A and B are shown apart, each in its own frame.
Chain A
Amino acid sequence: MDLIFEKSRPGRTAGGIPVCDVPEIALDQVIEQRLLREDVDLPEVAEVDLIRHYTTLSRRNFGVDVGFYPLGSCTMKYNPKINEDVARLPGFTALHPLAPAEFAQGDMRMMYELQGFLSEIFGMADFTLQPAAGAHGELTGVMMMKKYFETRGDDRRRILIPDAAHGTNPATGALCGFQTVTVRSNAEGGVDMDHLRELMTGDAVGLMLTNPNTLGLFERNIEGVSDIVHSRGGLLYCDGANANAFMGKTRAGDLGFDVIQLNLHKTFSTPHGCGGPGSGPVGVSDKLVDYLPVPRIVKDGDRYAWSEDFPDTIGRVRAFYGNFNVMVKAYAYIRSLGPDGLRKVSEVAVLNANYLKEKLKPYFDLAYDRTCMHECVFTGHRQVRESGVHTSDIAKRLLDYGYHPPTIYFPMIVPEAIMIEPNETESLETLDAFCDVMIAIAREAREEPEKVKSAPLTTPVRRLDEVRAAREPDVCWKG
């Protein structure tokens, strides 16, 4: 379809500007002509053109409201509509971030209570809501670990990261000036304890562990992991990307974690918006409270205020206080569900994943055949061997059947990985229908491999040439 620029016609507009009600002076009387621009190069379309353009684009996009979205590690649960509506209340959208505290008591109360709820759910001493996304939370969390050692004059240089970790973990470690060291997984998909023992020396700040890990498996040896890390003076970091698996069942703080970053846009049902805005709160144990980013909300009686008076803080990681409007949705979600609702979320998320795992296990090989948590990881091994059909082909074929594919080729330690996260808001019928399609694709792979390899056949565009996109980059329209 045409670009908006290709629909532009000189003289059209969709947005009128009010008449100027003050005496006008010439711009160049104040600003030197050479600092002014002549024209803005933006498209000119009528309002109806704009709406049809974006409506057409939206129909070429797949969201949770369109269909099942079992994208592993991304927790694409249903986004309740009430949360969208409350977040649009003027009380939550219209305030300037530097409004005096007297104006913002409701906003601050919501944030303060949300910090408290998250602290309770995850067993942490306190939370910051400032980070804008999960990776931003990771950065904030590891910065606090760095500061913890720095204030002790303990010059540790390395950070340990399991081989199954998300790419953001090693990238985060490197951005905090640490050398990243990879810890092997063992035969049952957990941390190789001997390897951890060997690497966790007095030179390591600690371990960044995703739990449950990216294989969807809970770390059975968590107590041992925690002991090893702490006995060498290290800190234990929890990547909370998979927190949907254990709310109300266990708590990160109780398990020995010193830091956890969450993704409100996963666990707490705030929509992903095509890749953001997210929100990445970070919880800390008592050891790290002093290093939380500023400003922090302090409560005096029943009044809330912002304070920067925390001398050991790492500072700020973004302007103002975080993705506030996303927090409103997460707050409303927690209030809707309550403690039993949150526990049910995790129980059913885990139930759904295990159900899918059992149903699909005869047709696809499991990476690790044991009880999984909220997601399960298969490998496309058998299909490659039998018919040369790869995981990417299976994913593309799912598009023809109207599904968003699972996460593929991750975690990297599983070849041809297919990582399925069904989450709790999907019904038994939805899971059964998806399984039927996966089983049908497994059969197609054997019987009509070319059909699977040439998928998708029904989408607005066919497979796209990514090599060409990278070799001859075209990231801005040149006309």
Chain B
Amino acid sequence: MDYVPHTPEDQKKMMQTIGIAGLDDLFADIPEKYRLKQLLNLPPAMSEQEVWGLMQQIGAQNVIPAVTLTGAGAYHHFIPAVVGHVISRSEFYTAYTPYQAEISQGILQAIYEYQTMIAGLTGMQVANASMYDGASAMAEAAVLAAKTLNRTKIVINRSVHPQYRQVVKTYAWSNGYEVVEVPYADNGQLNRSVLAEAVDHNTAAVLVQTPNFFGIIEDITSIEAAVHAKGALLVSGFTEATSLGILKPAGAMGADFVVGEGQAFGNPMNYGGPYLGIFASTDKFLRKIPGRLAGATLDKDGQRGFVLTLQTREQHIRRERATSNICSNEALCALAAAVYLVCLGKNLKKLAELNFQKAQYLKTHLSRLEGWEPVFSGPVYNEFAMRCPDAKVVNRRLQNEGIIGGYALENEYPELKNSLLLCATEMLSREDMDRIVSIAR
């Protein structure tokens, strides 16, 4: 099945118009010795029915878990039916970036509304149309800070998602910046004094996360002054977007940038992507932030309309002087997030409260098991770290029951032996959790 509509007659007619004898004439600019003489070594073409069967078969080689207890940057939430229906409108999903505003008002307005909701939730004045994911959004914020301040040091807390730290390190290395990692405090929160000491006059950005990788809610007001006193910028991240439903936004606590993973807003876990990077900032950086921005304006007749705006920030105009090379973003995922937020409305708070209650329940009941205790004492949202007698055995037992267990923290934190990072969202029923506790016992 090749989706090419041409009949042999069509092809002949077109070749006559062009004045060629065969299709190969069109490829004469390819030096003869590099022209492929045989077919590519690929499996043969299939009909739609055969492809459907094959993909069913590949999909079935996965095991869909009964319950997923891992969060760690991707979260299992219920997705209301309206989300899938809206993003399946092919006027949305088969469109390109809205360069021609007059026939792209649909996505431009939807993105403007998305930006408004994200700015409100993060407590910022500006949000862009999305980045690739939470990790790259954080890395781009760090690069922007360094370029803006002309400084070369980036300070990052070790309680930031390990993969986000890896991405920041890759971006920093490529730009020639130094990354300094700062340890967390015993309760799992930021270590204020150590962090303050690490910030100097060459520090461009301090990167933290709340809730942090351990699920612990940070009080970033406690470090804001120390960061700003040295002229550095505070980048506050998150991986669990639904936490914004109950937590005071980082924008209201002195962050210059709020960056995070928006997957939890209406996007499936999709084995890691596509997701969407949320990127918000104070007004001050409006003309510097990376990525696309939809802006309101008026048309010739004085009617409200929307365009991609402040494009002189972007690579296609600024080329090597652009602060980012981003072009495509995750617009359809941002649309899904917008529809999700409109669907829930003020109930986002209720949903976040429900997540909090579920996690408290599971944490409390696991804590009652012999040899189990919370690793940290800091406050948590829907994710928490538990020390247990043997993390491997617990995960194996859960796995045997079709349950994806906790994230083994020892993978990235050698000091945290037999510690599992567990997540409880609204998808876990009390019955599920009681079962989990009995399997873990």
Contact residue among A21, A44, A459 (Cβ-Cβ distance under 8 Å from B429): A21
CA distance A421 to B309 in the complex (A): 25
CA distance A23 to B296 in the complex (A): 46
Q: Does residue B438 face the partner (Cβ distance < 8 Å to A)?
A: no
Q: Does residue A343 face the partner (Cβ distance < 8 Å to B)?
A: yes
Query: Given A217-B29, A255-B34, A351-B14, is A95 in contact with B62 using a C-beta cutoff of 8 Å?
Result: yes
Q: Are A355 and B107 in contact (CB under 8 A)?
A: no
Q: Which residues of chain B are within 8 angstroms of A433 by Cβ–Cβ distance?
A: none
Interface residues of A in 351-385 (CB under 8 A from B): 351-352, 354-355, 358-359, 371, 373
Question: Measured between C-beta atoms, what is the minimum distance from A228 to chain B in Å?
Answer: 15
Closest A-B pairs by Cβ, 5 of them? A91-B59, A320-B272, A273-B332, A338-B45, A106-B61
Q: Are B342 and A61 in contact (CB under 8 A)?
A: no
Given contacts A17-B351, A103-B64, A180-B320, 4 further A-B contacts (CB under 8 A): A54-B339, A350-B27, A399-B103, A426-B5
Q: Are A315 and B170 in contact (CB under 8 A)?
A: yes
Q: Are A316 and B163 in contact (CB under 8 A)?
A: yes
Q: Does residue A277 face the partner (Cβ distance < 8 Å to B)?
A: yes
Q: List 18 A-B contacts (CB under 8 A).
A: A15-B80, A30-B379, A36-B248, A39-B346, A40-B244, A86-B59, A105-B62, A139-B174, A174-B322, A175-B171, A273-B333, A276-B130, A277-B328, A315-B169, A317-B136, A319-B167, A464-B300, A475-B112
0/1 interface trace, chain B 242-257, chain A, CB 8 Å (1 if under): 0011111100100000
Query: Given A143-B174, A463-B300, is A97 in contact with B379 using a C-beta cutoff of 8 Å?
Result: no
Q: Which of B92-100, B190-198, B201-209 contacts A (4 or more CB under 8 A)?
A: B92-100
Q: Are B272 and A335 in contact (CB under 8 A)?
A: no
Q: Are B97 and A275 in contact (CB under 8 A)?
A: yes
Q: Which of A1-9, A197-205, A442-450 contacts B (4 or more CB under 8 A)?
A: A1-9
Q: Does residue A336 face the partner (Cβ distance < 8 Å to B)?
A: yes
Q: Which residues of chain B are within 8 angstroms of A460 by Cβ–Cβ distance?
A: 102, 105
Q: Are B273 and A74 in contact (CB under 8 A)?
A: no
0/1 interface trace, chain B 354-367, chain A, CB 8 Å (1 if under): 10111011000000
Q: Are B333 and A276 in contact (CB under 8 A)?
A: yes
Contact residue among B2, B45, B347, B404 (Cβ-Cβ distance under 8 Å from A96): B404
Contact residue among B56, B59, B68, B136 (Cβ-Cβ distance under 8 Å from A136): B136
Q: Does residue A386 face the partner (Cβ distance < 8 Å to B)?
A: no
Residue among A4, A96, A351 with max Cβ neighbours from chain B (10 Å): A96
Q: Are A343 and B174 in contact (CB under 8 A)?
A: no
Query: Given A177-B176, A335-B46, A427-B5, is A15 in contact with B345 using a C-beta cutoff of 8 Å?
Result: yes
Q: Does residue A326 face the partner (Cβ distance < 8 Å to B)?
A: yes
Q: Are B29 and A220 in contact (CB under 8 A)?
A: yes
Interface residues of B in 378-403 (CB under 8 A from A): 379-381, 395, 399
0/1 interface trace, chain B 369-383, chain A, CB 8 Å (1 if under): 000000000011100
Query: Given A55-B89, A464-B298, is A319 in contact with B134 using a C-beta cutoff of 8 Å?
Result: yes
Q: Which residues of chain A are within 8 angstroms of B353 by Cβ–Cβ distance?
A: 20, 27
Q: Are A462 and B301 in contact (CB under 8 A)?
A: yes
CA distance A18 to B429 in the complex (A): 10
Q: Are B132 and A476 in contact (CB under 8 A)?
A: no
Q: Does residue A133 face the partner (Cβ distance < 8 Å to B)?
A: yes
Chain B residue with Cβ nearest A222 = B31
Query: Given A3-B113, A95-B62, A104-B271, is A58 in contact with B106 using a C-beta cutoff of 8 Å?
Result: yes
Q: Are A27 and B2 in contact (CB under 8 A)?
A: no
Query: Given A92-B59, A167-B317, A462-B102, is A320 in contact with B74 using a C-beta cutoff of 8 Å?
Result: yes
Q: Which residues of chain A are within 8 angstroms of B65 by Cβ–Cβ distance?
A: 95-96, 99, 103
0/1 interface trace, chain B 64-88, chain A, CB 8 Å (1 if under): 1100101011101000101001111
Q: Does residue A62 face the partner (Cβ distance < 8 Å to B)?
A: yes
Q: Which residues of chain A are within 8 angstroms of B59 by Cβ–Cβ distance?
A: 86, 89-92, 106
CA distance A245 to B87 in the complex (A): 30
Contact residue among B103, B347, B381, B407 (Cβ-Cβ distance under 8 Å from A61): B103
Q: Does residue B330 face the partner (Cβ distance < 8 Å to A)?
A: yes
Chain B residue with Cβ nearest A107 = B271
Contact residue among B42, B61, B104 (Cβ-Cβ distance under 8 Å from A109): B61
Q: Are A326 and B274 in contact (CB under 8 A)?
A: yes
0/1 interface trace, chain B 215-249, chain A, CB 8 Å (1 if under): 00101000000000000000000000000111111
CA distance A193 to B47 in the complex (A): 46
Q: Are B42 and A342 in contact (CB under 8 A)?
A: yes
Q: Does residue A283 face the partner (Cβ distance < 8 Å to B)?
A: no
Q: Are A425 and B102 in contact (CB under 8 A)?
A: no
CA distance A425 to B60 in the complex (A): 31
Q: Which residues of chain B are within 8 angstroms of A84 by Cβ–Cβ distance?
A: 88, 93
Q: Are A335 and B51 in contact (CB under 8 A)?
A: yes
Query: Given A58-B92, A135-B315, A469-B297, is A461 in contact with B305 using a C-beta cutoff of 8 Å?
Result: yes
Question: Measured between C-beta atoms, what is the minimum distance from A171 to chain B in Å?
Answer: 4
Q: Are A342 and B40 in contact (CB under 8 A)?
A: yes
Q: Does residue B349 face the partner (Cβ distance < 8 Å to A)?
A: yes
Contact residue among B74, B94, B333 (Cβ-Cβ distance under 8 Å from A97): B74
Q: Does residue B121 face the partner (Cβ distance < 8 Å to A)?
A: yes
Interface residues of A in 25-78 (CB under 8 A from B): 25, 27, 30-32, 34-37, 39-45, 47, 50-51, 53-66, 69, 71, 74, 76-78
Q: Are A428 and B96 in contact (CB under 8 A)?
A: no
CA distance A94 to B62 in the complex (A): 10
Q: Does residue B153 face the partner (Cβ distance < 8 Å to A)?
A: no
Question: Measured between C-beta atoms, what is the minimum distance from B45 to chain A in Å?
Answer: 3
Q: Does residue B299 face the partner (Cβ distance < 8 Å to A)?
A: yes
Residue among B26, B120, B163, B324 with max Cβ neighbours from chain A (10 Å): B26
Q: Which residues of chain A are within 8 angstroms of B91 by Cβ–Cβ distance?
A: 58-59, 61-63, 65-66
